[in-house]
Structure 1
Amino acid sequence: MGLRAQVRTRDGWAVRHAVVTVTDMSGAQVLRVTADGDGAVSTGTDLAPGPYTVIVTAMGYAPAAATALVTASGRAEVGTVVLARQGGSELPPPGTWSLDPAHSSVGAVAQHLGISSVYGRFTDFGGRIDIAPDLSRSRVDAVIRAASVDTGNGLRDKHLKSPDFLDVERYPEITYRSHGLTPSGPDRWTVHGSLSLHGVVRDVDLELAYLGTGPDPWGGVRAAFRATTELRREDFAMHYNQVVQAGISAIGTTLRVELAVQAVQGEALPTA
């Protein structure tokens, strides 16, 4: 009934207790409601048909506005309203930023049997981001210990570490070094770099989103990013493929890589 919406951050988290104000076209306030703990908004009251302005505010976030058209049923679906952190469009200050593994993740998703997905991650990694005054000259360097792969299944992890896949004895490290940056929006970039995996080096682009900067409890400053890319196993000489019935591969040939990164300003991380 009435107006319904979801309030989310740019990386998909619910913004709890955001305040939603609805005004008519004259600017008069029609109603005001607070989102629940899941970021959901439902007015529960039918509105007169017509266009309305929906203004969403929350502490620590920049306000956002959307237009809602209420139908003759008295209902309107606003969909998802995305809030950016206050000042989030401002870039992190130039300098060195150290990746914080305790608050970051390196994950990958592969298709299994053509019908579902298997999720994995690497637990041992590090890196740094050097943000230049001329943003296009910024650099990213990261290293992952291949043997830290973890899919939640010991037998599968052993196979992934074998010569069929990562061959961790011969190639213990996976590295990424950027060599360029192309803007794709006010807080989004395509990072161009070289990925060294399984003894093969190939150019790989990361689709990077900047999520904002803020203080941490230890007196430091943190910046958050999200990045994604897709890799083909064959491009890195990982040709293992068990085929099951109907010609379907047991493991998909494409991996979707998902990175969630917190970086701390400076060369060293806080000790706490």
Structure 2
Amino acid sequence: MGLRAQVRTRDGWAVQHAVVTVTDMTGTQVLRAAADGDGVVNDTTALATGPYTVIVTAVGYAPIASTALVTASGRIDAGNVTLLRQGGVELPPPGVWTIDPVHSAVGAVAQHLGISSVRGRFTEFGGRIEISEDVAKSRVEAVISAATIDTGNGMRDGHLKSPDFLDVETYPEITYRSTALVPAGPDRWTVKGELSLHGVVREVDLDLSYLGTGPDPWGGVRAAFHATADLRRDDFAMNYNQVVQAGISAIGATLRVELDIQAVQGEGLPQG
């Protein structure tokens, strides 16, 4: 008797906060049940024979409805129910995800002499991602060691660490803390947050793509993301501007930040 269903995302993750409502043909609610930690709904309320409407809802997901016919068993078996994120965008299941610096990259690209690009990366960083049941309330925090900038040229790296640019002795850490997560298209999100760089805090938006989730060789589950942002050096009080000729600066005023992130489900990182 009653109702049974299993509510999942398109990727197969349990929707733990799903609610299933059953109404009769007059629109009267006859049953309402919440999913457990495995996304399973199992209610033993007896239902009279006849047709019903089954509605499945969850915060952050598009609701779905279907018709079910109850026979003498007095039971509806809805089977596997798949909910899609509102806007068509999936994200990893709720909880804490720890950024794995060994399998991630934090880089930046700057124009050099007006004709080519210089690429750099930071080799030490860490952070965590908290996916909320209400995706808009999800959070990201990251810390980067400014002194680990690496452009492949020792002299240039030394200059970038100096007071002309990062001033790593005075400002050893670069931090980012998100304030909101907003859908930006069928497969993209905008992460709104605050970047602290060179002693200046500015609002910076990240253009985020979620690349998928899967198991790793160490028994964990990983999620992959790609994000980009454009920064202006003078917004962060890095105004060094050597002009080489005809008004051309040695280093461009705009930086393109590129992030390739792997995050492991849980508070810690596996070995490997």
Normalized against structure 2, the TM-score is what?
0.67
1:259 is matched with which residue? 259
Where in structure 2 are the equivalents of 1:106-255 lying within 5 Å? 106-255=106-255
Q: Distance in 2 between matches of 1:181 and 1:253?
A: 28
Per-residue Cα deviation, 1:93-118 (whole angstroms, up to 9, x for no partner):
10000000011000000000000000
Q: State the SS of the aligned residue for 2:217.
A: coil
Where in structure 2 are the equivalents of 1:52-131 lying within 5 Å? 90-131=90-131
1:89 to partner: Cα distance: 5.6
1:29 is matched with which residue? none
Q: Is the 8 A contact 2:95 2:132 kept in 1?
A: yes
Q: State the SS of the aligned residue for 2:268.
A: coil
Q: Is the 8 A contact 1:111 1:252 kept in 2?
A: yes
1:181 to partner: Cα distance: 1.1
Q: State the SS of the aligned residue for 2:160.
A: helix
Q: Distance in 2 between matches of 1:180 and 1:153?
A: 37
Q: Distance in 2 between matches of 1:210 and 1:243?
A: 40
Unaligned runs of 5+ in 1: 1-87
1:244 to partner: Cα distance: 0.9
1:14 is matched with which residue? none
Q: Distance in 1 between matches of 2:182 and 2:227?
A: 14
Q: Distance in 2 between matches of 1:265 and 1:247?
A: 50
Percent identity of the aligned residues? 78
Where in structure 2 are the equivalents of 1:24-35 lying within 5 Å? none
Return the letter of the residue paired with 2:100: D
Per-residue Cα deviation, 1:220-239 (whole angstroms, up to 9, x for no partner):
10000000000000000000
1:153 to partner: Cα distance: 0.3
1:78 is matched with which residue? none
Return the letter of the residue paired with 1:247: G
Gap change, CA 1:219 and 1:89, over 3 Å in 2: farther
Per-residue Cα deviation, 1:36-90 (whole angstroms, up to 9, x for no partner):
xxxxxxxxxxxxxxxxxxxxxxxxxxxxxxxxxxxxxxxxxxxxxxxxxxxx964
Q: Is the 8 A contact 1:89 1:212 kept in 2?
A: no
Q: State the SS of the aligned residue for 2:249.
A: coil
Which protein is bigger by CA-based radius of gyration?
2
Once the two structures are overlaid, the 10-residue window that deviates more, 192-201 or 90-99, is 90-99
Q: Distance in 2 between matches of 1:202 and 1:150?
A: 24
Normalized against structure 1, the TM-score is what?
0.67
1:268 to partner: Cα distance: 0.3
Q: State the SS of the aligned residue for 1:234.
A: helix
Q: State the SS of the aligned residue for 1:261.
A: strand
1:215 to partner: Cα distance: 0.5
1:184 to partner: Cα distance: 1.1
Q: Which runs of 4+ in 1 moved over 3 A?
A: none
1:91 to partner: Cα distance: 2.0
2:29 is matched with which residue? none
Per-residue Cα deviation, 1:108-154 (whole angstroms, up to 9, x for no partner):
00000000000000000000000000000000000000000000000
Q: Distance in 2 between matches of 1:135 and 1:186?
A: 15
Q: Distance in 2 between matches of 1:265 and 1:187?
A: 21
Q: State the SS of the aligned residue for 1:227.
A: strand
Unaligned runs of 5+ in 2: 1-87
Q: Is the 8 A contact 2:89 2:188 kept in 1?
A: no
Q: Distance in 1 between matches of 2:154 and 2:170?
A: 20
1:187 to partner: Cα distance: 2.8
